[in-house]
Amino acid sequence: MTKRPVVVATRHFPEAVEQRLQSMFDARLNPEDRALSHDELVARAQGADGLMVAATGKVDADLIHRLPASIRIIATFSVGYEHIDIAAAEQRGILVTNTPDVLTDATAEIALLLLLAAARRAHEGAAMLRQDQWTGWTPTQLMGIGLTGKRLGIVGMGRIGQALAERARANGMEIHYYNRTRLSPEQEKGAIHYATVEALLPQAQFLSLHCPLTPQTVKLMDARRLALLPEGAVLINTARGGIVDDEALIAALKSRRLAAAGLDVFDGEPKVDKRYFAIENAFILPHMGSATIETRNAMGFRAIENLQAVLIDGKAPPHRVKA
């Protein structure tokens, strides 16, 4: 019998994903879902052909240079790959792949959830009930902001940005956007394009971030740019926490310069600036953008497609990323 390639799974993945992984490879799983130290991962990787990793585990240059020579591919269970030192992997001749095009709808749904929850003060209402402080309906209680007729600014009009735009249009919103490349008229569907983020911000009564985290977008939303938003604006972030300057956003929320924020991602997560916990007008979630059964399975299957291409079929992986 032909020896099957060995793949090390660094985290516990969805059941259907692990079943497929085991059916195709000699899979070394992590059923306890324990974060592995570099020493532990290097030990597990001995004699293995590939790694299936998650965005929560940093695969830095030190780890990559310690991996055994047998490792040929690192398949990440994520679209983002900033947790992997791509240049170091390329130096070792290790391919790196990701899972694009399967998170669009799930992430757009969470963005819309955040937008609605932040605008309509859902956190405050839920807290009032859970703390047994609700005394009944009153004419001025928890008045939020309606979506109909409001301007939604989108930074990063890729697949997720466009999917959110579709959902926002259904709620009567007007779409404005910044993207490095202007979309075609068919893709724009009437959305208004701006050549710079700074030009977009004064128009954005709601602002949703969908750009990647790059050296150019680190702390993109700093105090200066937040000040360009209309007073009482609502900010949504489902992209990466590092795109927002926490100090500036927290100050804007506390002063009510911004009406609210909806955040699914945080700088340095899983560590979260604890000041957000005490801010009533911050609706926060623990990075749930892709957390549907359908999407997480699709992510895993896409990662396995990449592993199969390299380790079984001897072909280039369909979703390689490069430095």
In the block, residue with structure tokens 């591919």: 73
- Cα distance between residue 316 and residue 305, in whole Å: 11
- Alpha carbons within 13 angstroms on the beta-carbon side of residue 218 total 4
Catalytic sites, residue numbers: 240, 269, 287
- Cα distance between residue 33 and residue 13, in whole Å: 8
What single-letter amino acid sits at 3?
A: K
- Cα distance between residue 163 and residue 272, in whole Å: 28
Residue 270: CB atoms within 10 A of its CB come to 8
Phi, psi for residue 19 in degrees, rounded to 5: -65, -45
Q: What's the N-to-C CA distance of the chain in angstroms?
A: 38
Phi, psi for residue 23 in degrees, rounded to 5: -70, -20
Closest CA to 208 of 184, 244, 180, 181: 244
- Cα distance between residue 121 and residue 64, in whole Å: 45
